[in-house]
Structure 1
């Protein structure tokens, strides 16, 4: 066999082996809500690996959240995009999305139970190291993961991307176990400077180990290429490729620090 042909066949064989596997997994929270998770991992990687929860924007468990799970799988993590609305609901219009989000946040215990159910599902996957779990969230999902950290959920770290920073349950000294990364756009009008200042004051007062990164000139939803479609709905959002790539690099460095 010619050397070049042999190399091509070897490359094709390796490519066929290195594949991101995905699976839709039904599960339910303690209150009986039926949920649908989207799980992703790289089957070419042997053994257990850190697990990462992905919490969707207020649009629901859409293609963007699922893509981020695949992105994490490609980095070598066991990733689960969770469902905070139930039945995998998604919205196309802001009014519908707002209704879904408000319903999910109406009772904090319900939101906690849905997130916790996702964590248990991720830990149960054979590829996951249950001792190494983190969470990331976008917009609404950013608030969710920050609130889970505030409540002392045993996560190694949480990362919020253009997340909602306000909360009804401020962090208290000695409670937060997770390290925190916040990626925020300097031109975000949905999460105004007053909210940023209040968040930093809250974290400092509670002596939380956190890092706040401001992406220059970035608007709300700066990581999502789909954001520009929603400008017609009157939302002050926009994709920023530079901020997206920089914040993703920050996340990888953050995970390297917490997972070891």
Structure 2
């Protein structure tokens, strides 16, 4: 009996040592590096040819949420494409969309204002262009068509909010340095969770419009967050803001801290929603 007990003890020690060795030699699989692929796409509404840019991590195999990004009033430019790349790095498939047609861009605020006004005063066409972009996003193999969000900057933020208020099938919407006096105010058709990040010193956004917006959101029980950054001006996420402000004598200014904090708030919302 004593010999048997000794044998069992020895076997247990050997087995335990072998398991420990195995665990020590086993290596965790290396995380797959992010490899962002960006590609230009052409699409169209019934009346307008449109040019967009899609970005995604081609090393990621599973389907993921899709995010539409609506440009500032300057038009579809490198800035909005950079944001698409940034979202792709986070694991989303993003499309920088075109609301003006043919990738048209403005070089002067007067032209930018005219382009933006032509979109916001023709909501049926605005919806058609937005929906055309959403459709091409949903056609991407990498996209989970049940998980779609939209974000926008300046004019683009107003577009994203307006589309959400019109009943667009969006799970989340974020607007940065965006007007909130919208052609379609918040109403029961709103399905999305909403984030608005604005500068407290932005003269383009009146206190009255903020009050009207938040009152309307509260009245329908919307899930939203309105963040106002003290001392921050318009266009605070764009590193071109200071140069444009000086060139055109406009109250624009980049703010690195507000830019970072607003991006972190976006990431938090998307993570919670998806």
* TM-score for both structures, normalised by structure 2: 0.86
Alignment partner, residue 163 of structure 1: 178
Distance 1:170 1:15 in 2: 45
Q: Does 1:140 align with 2:155?
A: yes
Q: Does 1:151 align with 2:170?
A: no
Map of 1:5-84 to 2, 5 A cutoff?
18-29=34-45, 31-84=46-99
CA contact (8 A) 1:17 1:43 kept: no
Superposed CA RMSD in Å reads 1.5
Alignment partner, residue 128 of structure 2: 113
Distance 2:231 2:86 in 1: 25
CA contact (8 A) 2:32 2:59 kept: no
1:184-224 deviation per Cα after TM superposition (whole angstroms, max 9, x unaligned) = 11111111212111111121122211111111211111011
From 108, 113, 129, the counterpart of 2:144 = 129
CA contact (8 A) 2:186 2:213 kept: no
1:98-156 deviation per Cα after TM superposition (whole angstroms, max 9, x unaligned) = 11111122211000110011000100011111110000000000100101111111110
Distance 2:64 2:182 in 1: 32
1:46-73 deviation per Cα after TM superposition (whole angstroms, max 9, x unaligned) = 1211000000000000111010000000
Distance 2:93 2:137 in 1: 8
Alignment partner, residue 250 of structure 1: 265
Structure 1: gaps spanning 5 or more residues: 1-13
From 237, 249, 262, the counterpart of 1:223 = 237
* TM-score for both structures, normalised by structure 1: 0.91
Alignment partner, residue 207 of structure 1: 221
The total of aligned residue pairs comes to: 244
- How far off is 1:16 after superposition? 10
Larger Rg: 2
Q: 1:16 to 1:177 in 2, by over 3 A?
A: closer
- How far off is 1:168 after superposition? 2.3
